[in-house]
Structure 1
Amino acid sequence: MTYPAPFRSLASGRRRAVVIAASASVAFALAACTPAGVDDADPSDSAAGGDGGSGGDGATETITIGYIAPATGTLTGFTDGDPYMLSVVREQFADGITIDGTTYAVEIIDRDSGSDAAKAGELAQELITEEQVDLLMATSTPETVNPVVAQCEAHGTPCLTANAPWQAVVFGGGFGPDKPLEWTHHFFFGIEGFGDVDPLAWDQVETNKKVGVLWPNDSDGGAFRDPDTGYTPLVEAHGYTVVDPGAYENGTADFTSIIQTFKDEGVEIISGIPIPPDFVTFWTQAAQQGFEPKVATVGKALFFPTTVPSIPDDLGEGLAFATWWGPTFPYESSFDGTTPQEWIDDFSASPEGEGLVWNQATPLNGALFEVAKVGLEASGDPFDKEALVAAFDDINMMTLGGQIDFTSGPFPGIATIPTAMGQWEKTDDGEWEWVVVDAGTVPDLPVDRPLELLEW
């Protein structure tokens, strides 16, 4: 199965007091207080039904869910499918949620972090203290997730997060065996999803087994560089040697010193987790300076279908990356049984999908709401914070984004998902697509072909 890339991208668009019987009609809040990608929205204008029944017989009690994601800025690749995803979620929640015979309306407040960690934290505090959300969710890299987790842990607010390596969330957030997550549940693969899967692809070709790494000076980079829990001990266990030239700042314009280190050390494999513009800069300069590795398996930058076409001179040909979702992955939505291929078809035909190609992050963003629904239903009382957190502890369920199992994770509150390896190629008609070259740890995933060496 091949997976196409586009040539352009269009970036995106209180708890109530009175309980009603299950048979009562339910009002659903269709709009967010500040929709992702929309600036300066007036919260008073957004919730359907005014104050949502904060008093008076017959009013509907409302569960308020906050959702923070980077709809603008350097991390928009994680969220350009969110307008469609949120429309699907709101439709699923249109009739509310029934919990122990009581039906509750659902209000979703989605906010744009602007790909800024400080703003993500500010939005989380606002949603907790001013909007009094019953559940707060966040997605897409530690720069978004960690500040939200910090606010939820400080205020005792149930929290669900995704799309960030779990070690960067746990250890990078200052948590550990002596300081567990008390209010947060997070799902995504961890550094092992790179360090134990990248070598499966490298083993398919002949190299000197020297791996040059690109670790930025941020939460992700710090987690991957950790000598005990990071990337190096994993790939060394597979017989590879890591060359780490040191941390670089996001937004670096000149990678000459890093490239020279790789050349001097005879590096033939490149790995890392740079943001998209930084990798484009690095890879372009590498070609200009005569650095020609045989293999590149790069996270973050190559996850999304807009990066590779933006690299000049078709230098994206043959770049590879860890992948966690695609049309042939054996998953289905708990909402309605939708499969990945069906979701892709529906997204492509939707107004929100016009001018875009699906990306693998969006279904996992949507899975946050699938897990939220099951947890809320199992809690018995959506406003009992401790009960809601305990309900998440027991979740082991299939979602559109994969199996989410909090009962057997590597750390309390963590569920991991499997990864495979994809490789980008350009078709005869000039379109970019990626193919599966190793199934990695994904059960029953078809493989299209073996990994191919880079051509310079």
Structure 2
Amino acid sequence: MDQTNGEEKRVRAAASPAAGGRTGVPTVGVVVARTGRLARLGDPLAYAVDLLAPKLRGRLRLVGRDSRSCAEGARQAVRELVEVEQARIVLTLAGTEVLPAVADACEEASVPCLSSTFPWQVYHYGGRRRRWTYHFCWGLDDIAEVFADLWEAAGGTERKVGCLWNDGPQGTWSRHSTHGFLPAARARGHRLVVPAGYREPAATLAGHVAAFRDEGVDIVTSAATGADLGVFRREAARQGLRLRLITCSRWLAYPPASTADPAVEAPQANVATLVYWTPAHPYRSSIDGMSAAELAEGYERATGNQWLQPLGLAYALVEVAAHALATADDPAAPASVAAALGATRLETVAGPLDWTSGPVPRIATVRLSGGQWQRGRKHPYELVVTDNRQVEGLPVGGELVPLGADQ
């Protein structure tokens, strides 16, 4: 049996009836990618389930199902969790197709859903009208504010910035005239050069490079995959487009892929990105007081892998679910659990979360900082916080390094 399927079984066993029994405690269903292209990003949520299931035994029961990294797998997972496991609330992380599918399936089942790691405008405005689904994340406007700070740190104000955006939900909503990245960045005085969106995976980005070169762009922003960013950087080098800085969200919030030759830089080397959670964040768990640093250390020790930013949010999903079930007037009634979610104000290992004052109903926001992937000591590349303006108590780890400066 392969390792991924073994991990899936381990997640199920951590909170199975054999492990905890159907003792009348409420069940929390967890839709987590254990197979398919999102499997690596499912690791933090799987780890959080394993870690918290024994700590919460007697208060709630955690049960996981594999989304298979696809919409149909996510819908099937919700059906199993609700119909077979009698889940009172369903949790999930990430996935442009997976997360909306989980939310929609929960709506159809009239069961509360709690999710994260998806810009809230894309989640809120980009799907069907929802009643049962709750979400916490940053916004596209928050990304724009952090990235504008980084652009200005790289070389002054009122700069031209090239936008390397795809034709999918992230790119489409980044362009939105009201809710997207575009208006927030322009409000900071920056002129954005916005070619048409490209289809993922990108075969070539020569047209984008040419457009940026013709406009005299030396800063580029994107939400590209690592592979597509590699295509762009190789084409930029071929056409002689010299860049001072690249800022990139979405996949670039995760560690750069290792290369076979340590002397060859990864496509994400020295790329700046959003920072929403690190071991240095001054946050602690509402369940057991565990610090962000302790959580990251335990994850690396247990998995042998570098910590990922979603780890803090994955743990916070369970924190919020436990709080809602504990404070609901009737944890067996979906409407009561949903009302408790809507009234939640909680200090978590991912920071303060408040659904009573969100930008729109059923949304809580996460604070962002700016950082950059730089050559590391413990790992090939490490996320260095370079701008902590919006997160009190988060230490700055270094300064921005121009592209190619450490070659």
Mapping of 1:219-258 within 5 angstroms?
219-258=169-208
Aligned partner of 1:363 in structure 2 is: 312
2:35 maps to 1:72? yes
Aligned partner of 2:210 in structure 1 is: 260
Aligned partner of 1:319 in structure 2 is: 271
Residue type at the aligned position of 1:157: V
CA contact (8 A) 1:12 1:81 kept: no
Mapping of 1:50-65 within 5 angstroms?
52=21, 60-65=23-28
Aligned partner of 1:29 in structure 2 is: none
CA contact (8 A) 1:36 1:110 kept: no
Aligned partner of 2:109 in structure 1 is: 155
Mapping of 1:168-187 within 5 angstroms?
168-175=122-129, 181-187=130-136
Offset of 1:66 from its aligned partner? 1.4
How far apart, in 2, do the equivalents of 1:275 and 1:73 lie? Answer: 16
Aligned partner of 2:65 in structure 1 is: 111
> Which range moved further: 327-336 or 280-289?
280-289
CA contact (8 A) 1:268 1:294 kept: yes
Offset of 1:437 from its aligned partner? 0.8
How far apart, in 1, do the equivalents of 2:42 and 2:311 lie? Answer: 6
Aligned partner of 1:345 in structure 2 is: 297
Residue ranges of structure 1 left out of the alignment (5+ in a row): 1-10, 14-33, 54-59, 98-105, 176-180
2:211 maps to 1:289? no
CA contact (8 A) 2:45 2:93 kept: no
CA contact (8 A) 1:52 1:62 kept: no
Aligned partner of 1:167 in structure 2 is: 121
The CA deviation string for residues 259-287 of structure 1, in whole angstroms up to 9 with x for no partner, is 22222222221112123332233333333
Residue from 44, 48, 52 that aligns with 1:81: 44
The CA deviation string for residues 46-87 of structure 1, in whole angstroms up to 9 with x for no partner, is 93349955xxxxxx2142221113333333443233343221
The CA deviation string for residues 90-131 of structure 1, in whole angstroms up to 9 with x for no partner, is 12122x11xxxxxxxx33221222322333233323433444
Residue type at the aligned position of 1:294: R
Residue from 387, 391, 394 that aligns with 1:442: 391
**Secondary structure of the structure 1 residue equivalent to 2:43:** coil
Higher helix share: 2
Aligned partner of 2:16 in structure 1 is: 47
2:298 maps to 1:335? no
Residue type at the aligned position of 1:340: A
TM-score, normalised on structure 2?
A: 0.89
> Which range moved further: 246-255 or 294-303?
246-255
Aligned partner of 1:27 in structure 2 is: none
Residue type at the aligned position of 2:375: K
How far apart, in 1, do the equivalents of 2:206 and 2:9 lie? Answer: 39
Residue type at the aligned position of 1:288: R
Aligned partner of 2:346 in structure 1 is: 397
The CA deviation string for residues 238-259 of structure 1, in whole angstroms up to 9 with x for no partner, is 1111122122222222222222
Offset of 1:366 from its aligned partner? 1.4
Give the aligned CA root-mean-square deviation in angstroms.
2.9
Offset of 1:234 from its aligned partner? 0.4
> Which range moved further: 279-288 or 359-368?
279-288
Larger Rg: 1
Report % sequence identity: 29
**Secondary structure of the structure 1 residue equivalent to 2:198:** coil
> Which range moved further: 320-329 or 206-215?
206-215
How far apart, in 2, do the equivalents of 1:51 and 1:334 lie? Answer: 22
Offset of 1:35 from its aligned partner? 8.2
Residue type at the aligned position of 1:48: P
The CA deviation string for residues 172-199 of structure 1, in whole angstroms up to 9 with x for no partner, is 1134xxxxx3111100111122111111
How far apart, in 2, do the equivalents of 1:80 and 1:50 lie? Answer: 21
Distance 1:329 1:310, change over 3 A: farther
> Greater RCO between the two (CA within 8 Å, min separation 6)?
1
Offset of 1:375 from its aligned partner? 0.3
How far apart, in 1, do the equivalents of 2:290 and 2:219 lie? Answer: 38
How far apart, in 2, do the equivalents of 1:172 and 1:190 lie? Answer: 13
Residue type at the aligned position of 1:346: G
Residue type at the aligned position of 1:151: A
Aligned length: 401
> Which range moved further: 301-310 or 403-412?
301-310
> Which range moved further: 270-279 or 359-368?
270-279
How far apart, in 1, do the equivalents of 2:52 and 2:278 lie? Answer: 20
